Amino acid sequence: MDRCSGAEVEVRQAVAPCLRIVSSSRDSAEVTEALRTIIHYLEGGNASASEKAEFNRANYTRVLQVLVSSLSSDWFHSLPAQERRELWDGFFLRGPPDQALLVLLDTISSTSDGSGLDWTVSVLESFLSAGRVGMLLWSRCLETNGRPDSVQLRETILTRLSSLPDLTANRLRTNTPARLLPQQYYTDLARDVLNTLENTCRALRAGQDCSLGFVAQLLGKVCMQGHGELVCRTLAPRLSSLTRSDALWRRVSCKLLENVPDRWVESVITALIHHLHGASALSRVMGNLVLKNKKVQFVLTHKVLLLQYQHPTQLLRTVLGYLALDHDRRPLLKQVLRSVCQVWSNSSAVRHTSLDQQLYVSKALLLCVNLLNQTEIQELREELLQCMLGGVQCRLDSSTEHVRRMGMVVGECLSQKLDTPTSQLQFQYEANEESRELLSLMEPQSEEEDEDEQQQQPDDAPRPQPESSGQSAEGQSMMSQPPAASQTSAKPAGHSSDSELDSDDELTPYDMSADQVKQKATPPRYVRDCLEALMSSDDPERVELSLQTAEELLRKNVSTAREVSVQFSKVLLHLEDRYSTAGFHTLRQSAMVALAVIHTQPVVEYLTTEFYSLNYSLRQRLDILEVLALAAQELSEPITEKKAVSQPVARAVTLEQCGEVEHWRQVVEKRIQSKTRRISKGASQPPKAAPNRYAPVAAYFFFPLLRNYDRPQVTFDLLGSDHLVLGQLVHTLGLLMHLAVNAPVATQMGKALLDFVWAIRFHADQMVRRGVLFAVCAVFLSMPGENLLLELSDDLVETRAWLADVAESDPDADCRSLAVQSLVLLEKNLKTHLQSPSMET
């Protein structure tokens, strides 16, 4: 104690006069002399250890402050660079790094632009490059129970270290040197952390105690501030490879993570699992942290799996594999499986979460199930079964093909795990990228993991080479294959190649070009014959031929077609595909469209009445809507030569293939595009003007469809379970509305349509909501601006709020984009309207 206080006095007495000289003297030689005196107390100086410690404790910061204040003094400027580096920089680089760092940063933020600032920054740079941060961290590690550091100081150093790039950039702006930019700084910081950990290991082996508290806090704080990505990119692979062989490293890394304060641990863990490939790596680095720390447990078993869905599949695999890897952690895996099951089979989640999230949860479920062993599956069988049945059912009910397919794939996979081979679920679906990915999750994973770890080593070995060589080999084998055998020589039999060769050749063949596929029946030549055949014939070929020629016949014989139009429509509407005729739906549809175009009013009246009448299947009702839409479309187009006949057919084909919704939107988008193009080109040859055939009859198409929608029948409940038809109906109405642009009746139509869709705008089915938004778009596009605003005036604010809400939070991506589109249209309408002078009159 005495010695200590003795040293204190001694050092103060030695340092104080020097400082006075430095701060006040004008004689540079004198100043230099004074500094050289103080330098003894720094690292590498020849003062005694106790004197050094005392100097570091009480005087160092003061010295630095004095030095900083002398930045603008004459002697500083008169110092040659060499000496300046030694006398001035040396003080910062050879003392306790925490104090130096604080002073440097304070100086940088308080000094105005000038050579002083530049010098300080360069000193800070050399501070960093000299590894002083590493020194700092290490010094903190050693203070296991020593100096009870003031919490405030510790906190300050932590903040400065973790946000050094921000602090410097605030001051230096664009002049910040590369070393102080986040990219470089945090990578270096991660390296320093690693070095510190390495030192720790070494110290522990030597029997010395270390504290990882500060490093852990620093790590937490940095990750919290969003730099986890940068840090862990360097940290994680090294940790993974170091922990592989060394148990001590494993302990140290677990300890490090344990010491991260709870409030920051989430960001550290998240960043870490993003950069650790493979469950075993995570297990090595984290140990059983998930069991010890509630927060980590929540993140890994709940948040990453069920609340977030932006992570790659690899991460899911890592996390779930980590849970499965250790015996103690397996209960957690079961718990996870239970909660994932619950979410997956929740019908409300199916309706209200986005497709991406559903896919993510499905992946998690499959991975989880795949990790279970046989006894665990038996244990969880009941729950899994419930989950499978509930989840598959509510997905199959969905109107989106995507969701249905997901349900089918997951259902099949679960059933494969749960059931005996004979009683497994089997669905028919078209495999796509996504279903294949889901299926691939069920394959055992062990090899891949090793592979991942190898890939983790930072060499980019030219892997594609063997693949490409394989391909070329394949190509060669393809090339060397003999050309396709001709039809007669299926087998080059050895018997025929004996003496009796060529005897065929004396017989010269006759011309065989007339040998053609024979058609037994002839196509009907009259409309009435055609109708007759469709109505009553039992000859498949005749029916097929009649169907094939129906459209052509009708379009050729317009007057006859008018006489029987309604009857013909009736027959076609009720026609069933009894003989599985190729392209049945297309042919029937095009014939019905032809009828609706030729004799619009009665046929459309008939169809719209039938739409709401009893005893039709959903398919027939959908057919009616499609026919109406296509007919309206054809009517609204100018008559072109012959092409018009084939066009609707081609479209109808695509309609059969893809989902109807996409189809309508595509058609409309195409139309919008073609329109805008025409306007922008301008100079191109204007099409010949022709009266729009659709405008006068638009009302016949439109209003009857709005008549009975709220009257449920025994077989048809539009607002209830038959939302598939409702969605299609709204789409069709939207299309009819869109085609009626510039028609006088458009205003009334728009009014009625808005009223209609207003009632169903919060429908649970996304198809319907898409339809609603599509219809709204169509109204905004087609209804004259002033009428629209007049109509909307009361609801304008509410409409905008609704659209904005949908645009922001609807789970369906199409709904969101459609809502944005309608908002844009609405704004445009508003703007033109408010600017137009017609308003004032």
Partner 1 sequence: MVMARPPPDPLFTLRGSAAPVNTLQFHCSTAGRPLLYSGSEKGCVHVWNLNNRRAERVLEGHDGASVIWVSTVDSTDAFLSQGRDMRVCVWDLHEGRSAVTHSLRTGSVGFCQCSLLEAETNKTLLALPAEHTEEIKVMELASQTPVRSLIPDSKQGMLMCMKMFQAESGPLLCAGYEDGSVVLWDVSHGRPLSCLKAHPEPVMCLDFDTDRQKGISGSSDKTLTSWIIDSQQNLQMQNSVLLTNPGVSQLCIRADGKIVAAAGWDGNVRVFGWKRLKPLAVLQHHKDLVHSVAFSNHPEASQRLMAAGSKDQRISVWSIYSES
With binding defined as CB under 8 A, does residue 508 bind partner 1?
yes
User: Among 493, 582, 614, 683, which residue interacts with partner 1 (rule: CB under 8 A)?
Assistant: 493
Residue placing its CB nearer to partner 1 in the complex, 465 or 489: 489
CB of residue 520 to partner 1, shortest distance in Å: 9
Q: Which stretch binds partner 1 (CB under 8 A): 128-136, 406-414, 505-513, 684-692?
A: 505-513
Q: Which stretch binds partner 1 (CB under 8 A): 112-120, 144-152, 276-284, 513-521?
A: 513-521
User: Among 82, 503, 685, 841, which residue interacts with partner 1 (rule: CB under 8 A)?
Assistant: 503
With binding defined as CB under 8 A, does residue 1 bind partner 1?
no
Which residues, numbered 602-641, are part of the site for partner 1 (CB under 8 A)?
Answer: none
With binding defined as CB under 8 A, does residue 582 bind partner 1?
no
Can you give 569-630 as a three-state secondary structure string? HHHHHHCCCCCCCCCHHHHHHHHHHHHHHHCHHHHHHHHHHHHCCCCCCHHHHHHHHHHHHH
What sign has the CA pseudo-torsion 420, 422, 427, 429? positive
Residue placing its CB nearer to partner 1 in the complex, 444 or 494: 494
User: Among 467, 500, 641, 794, which residue interacts with partner 1 (rule: CB under 8 A)?
Assistant: 500
Rounded CA separation 713/718 (Å):
9
User: Among 496, 522, 715, 721, which residue interacts with partner 1 (rule: CB under 8 A)?
Assistant: 496
With binding defined as CB under 8 A, does residue 713 bind partner 1?
no
Residue placing its CB nearer to partner 1 in the complex, 485 or 839: 485
With contact defined as beta carbons under 8 Å apart, do 255 and 471 qualify?
A: no
What sign has the CA pseudo-torsion 244, 249, 252, 256? negative
CB of residue 545 to partner 1, shortest distance in Å: 17
CB of residue 542 to partner 1, shortest distance in Å: 17
With binding defined as CB under 8 A, does residue 515 bind partner 1?
yes
With contact defined as beta carbons under 8 Å apart, do 108 and 120 qualify?
A: yes
Residue placing its CB nearer to partner 1 in the complex, 479 or 517: 517
Residue placing its CB nearer to partner 1 in the complex, 467 or 511: 511
User: Among 433, 504, 538, 794, which residue interacts with partner 1 (rule: CB under 8 A)?
Assistant: 504
With contact defined as beta carbons under 8 Å apart, do 200 and 141 qualify?
A: yes
Residue placing its CB nearer to partner 1 in the complex, 502 or 538: 502
CB of residue 482 to partner 1, shortest distance in Å: 18
For the chain, percent helix, then strand, then coil, each to nearest 5? Answer: 75, 0, 25
CB of residue 496 to partner 1, shortest distance in Å: 6
Residue placing its CB nearer to partner 1 in the complex, 492 or 687: 492
With binding defined as CB under 8 A, does residue 518 bind partner 1?
yes
With contact defined as beta carbons under 8 Å apart, do 663 and 654 qualify?
A: yes
Residue placing its CB nearer to partner 1 in the complex, 517 or 679: 517
User: Among 491, 642, 643, 688, which residue interacts with partner 1 (rule: CB under 8 A)?
Assistant: 491
Which residues, numbered 450-489, are part of the site for partner 1 (CB under 8 A)?
Answer: 487-489
Residue placing its CB nearer to partner 1 in the complex, 261 or 540: 540
User: Among 490, 582, 679, 714, which residue interacts with partner 1 (rule: CB under 8 A)?
Assistant: 490
CB of residue 506 to partner 1, shortest distance in Å: 8
User: Among 510, 642, 657, 714, which residue interacts with partner 1 (rule: CB under 8 A)?
Assistant: 510
With contact defined as beta carbons under 8 Å apart, do 701 and 745 qualify?
A: no
Q: Give every CB contact of residue 399 below 8 A, 6+ residues apart in sequence.
A: 723, 724, 727, 765, 766, 767
Rounded CA separation 593/624 (Å):
10
| Residue type (1 letter), 501 | L
Residue placing its CB nearer to partner 1 in the complex, 178 or 493: 493
Quick one: CA torsion of 133, 136, 142, 147, rounded to 10 degrees? -160
Q: Which stretch binds partner 1 (CB under 8 A): 48-56, 360-368, 494-502, 649-657?
A: 494-502
Rounded CA separation 354/309 (Å):
10
- CA proximity to 437, closest of 369, 535, 538, 362: 362
User: Among 482, 509, 682, 691, which residue interacts with partner 1 (rule: CB under 8 A)?
Assistant: 509
CB of residue 510 to partner 1, shortest distance in Å: 4
CB burial string 518-545: b at 16+ within 10 A, e below: eeeeebbeebebbbebbeebeeebbbbb
Residue placing its CB nearer to partner 1 in the complex, 3 or 495: 495
CB of residue 486 to partner 1, shortest distance in Å: 10
With contact defined as beta carbons under 8 Å apart, do 715 and 766 qualify?
A: no
CB of residue 331 to partner 1, shortest distance in Å: 58
Q: Which stretch binds partner 1 (CB under 8 A): 48-56, 123-131, 387-395, 495-503?
A: 495-503
Residue placing its CB nearer to partner 1 in the complex, 426 or 486: 486
CB of residue 733 to partner 1, shortest distance in Å: 49
Whole-Å CA distances, 196 to 230, 285, 514, 544: 18, 16, 91, 83
| Residue type (1 letter), 253 | S
Q: Give every CB contact of residue 816 below 8 A, 6+ residues apart in sequence.
A: 806, 807, 808, 810
With tokens 């939070």, the residue in question is 809
How many chain residues bind partner 1 (CB under 8 A)? 23
CB of residue 495 to partner 1, shortest distance in Å: 6
- CA proximity to 95, closest of 63, 137, 140: 63
User: Among 461, 512, 679, 714, which residue interacts with partner 1 (rule: CB under 8 A)?
Assistant: 512
Long-range contacts, 35-44 (Cβ 8 Å, 24+): 35/87, 35/91, 36/87, 38/63, 38/91, 39/87, 39/90, 39/91, 41/11, 41/15, 42/90, 42/91, 42/94, 42/95, 43/94, 43/95, 44/94
**Using the 8-state DSSP alphabet, how is residue 839 labeled?**
G
With binding defined as CB under 8 A, does residue 499 bind partner 1?
no
CB of residue 492 to partner 1, shortest distance in Å: 9
Q: Residue 687 — φ and ψ, nearest 5°?
A: -65, 150
Q: Which stretch binds partner 1 (CB under 8 A): 91-99, 254-262, 510-518, 692-700?
A: 510-518
User: Among 514, 679, 683, 714, which residue interacts with partner 1 (rule: CB under 8 A)?
Assistant: 514
Residue 639: strand, helix, or coil: coil
Rounded CA separation 472/830 (Å):
62
| Residue type (1 letter), 449 | E
Quick one: CA torsion of 508, 511, 517, 518, rounded to 10 degrees? -110
Q: Which residues of the shown chain bind partner 1 in the complex (CB under 8 A)?
A: 487-491, 493, 495-496, 500, 503-504, 506-512, 514-518
